[in-house]
A = this chain, B = another copy of it.
Amino acid sequence: MTVGVDLGGTKIQTVALRGMKVVGSARVPTPQSGVAENVIQAIAGTIHVALRQAGTDAAALSGVGIGSPGEIDAAEGVVRQAGNVPGFSGSIKLGPLLARALGGGVKVKLENDVRVGVLGEHRAGAGRPYKNMLGVWLGTGVGGGLILDGELHDGRGAAGEIGHVVVKPGGRRCGCGRRGCLEAYAGRARMERRAHKLVRRGQKTVLFEIMRKQGKPRVTSGVYTRALKQGDELTKQLLADAAWALSIALSSAQNLLDLEAIVVGGGLGEELGQPFIDRVVKQMAPHLFADDHPPVVLPTELGDLSGAVGAALLADEA
């Protein structure tokens, strides 16, 4: 029995896994006190709930995996600069602290949140049939993970950053400070910034009105789809740009790697789903070098559980 935790800025999603089967799960809002210890206690709480659902307790636990934002030092179990998790902007010894909160003795493994999601989809989701695949996660930013020859490929620790493939030299400013990255066009935060800019230039949109009505502090994925249903032109334009940028970045990745599959996940990816994927696929076609042998492009199967499932699987690996 292993447990996987998907730690995010707004929620903590935990699953208990026996083999490839989810036998328990728990989800709580991430404590917003700004104290890391509260977040760690909340994680431990979800683990106890998930184990109880699975009819067991911490004594049966062979390992815990955590997918976390920020920079991961897997060897030390340390997370750094996970700024969107309250209390995690510095350096947090998440691994050892959680092991202690669970009573000690349990092994805790850390990995990048997107990579565990991609691993989850590869081992237990849409990517099961494939040995070589790329996961592209559309969320606040655009993250990615590579599975090559059946294994997560992290290079020297930073591989998979499809979000920072250059789709337009000198193009839009990205959250990373550079210009023309995929994320500048297909990441939610940069799309929202672009929307503000277009409004300042005089364009109309229902995006911010929907956002306020739904009581959201941000233009969430759901806000985009709602605006789209209302035929909002500015939203159409933002999503057209995102699809275009994805088609460039994914084609380049495909020409370089000759992948079998590309899995599109993340909050925004899940929300936009198959119609958006179909559009990206169509625009990729003219850029594919081995055009008689395109990759399959798929939505996730595990949805918002892919991160937690991947983290649990990671806990089981050497």
Contact = CB atoms under 8 A, between A and B. Distances in A.
Interface of A: 132, 144, 146, 148-149, 153-162, 164-169, 176, 178, 244, 248-249, 251-253, 255-260, 286-287, 289-290, 293
Contacts of A260: 155-156
19 contacts: A144-B256, A146-B256, A146-B257, A149-B153, A153-B257, A155-B260, A156-B258, A156-B290, A158-B290, A159-B258, A160-B256, A161-B255, A161-B258, A166-B252, A166-B287, A169-B244, A169-B248, A178-B286, A253-B256
Contact of A156 (B146, B176, B293): B293
Q: Chain A interface secondary structure, helix, strand, loop or mixed?
A: loop
Nearest to A169: B248
Given A132-B155, A178-B286, A165 B252 contact: yes
A149 B132 CA distance: 14
Given A155-B132, A258-B155, A251 B160 contact: no
Most chain B beta carbons < 10 A, residue from A155, A253, A287, A290? A155
Nearest to A159: B258
A293 B178 contact: no
A76 B93 CA distance: 55
A258 B155 CA distance: 5
A248 B248 CA distance: 13
A132 B146 CA distance: 14
B166 A169 contact: no
Nearest to A244: B169
B156 A251 contact: no
Given A167-B169, A178-B287, A159 B252 contact: no
Given A166-B251, A251-B166, A161 B256 contact: yes
Contacts of A155: 132, 257-260
B287 A158 contact: no
A148 B153 contact: yes
Given A132-B156, A158-B293, A166-B251, 19 more contacts: A149-B149, A149-B153, A153-B257, A154-B258, A155-B257, A155-B259, A155-B260, A156-B260, A156-B293, A158-B258, A158-B289, A159-B258, A160-B256, A161-B258, A164-B255, A166-B248, A176-B289, A178-B286, A178-B287
Contacts of A293: 156, 158
A257 B148 CA distance: 11
A92 to B, nearest CB: 21
Contacts of A157: 258, 290
Leading 5 A-B pairs by shortest Cβ distance: A155-B258, A159-B258, A164-B289, A158-B290, A165-B252
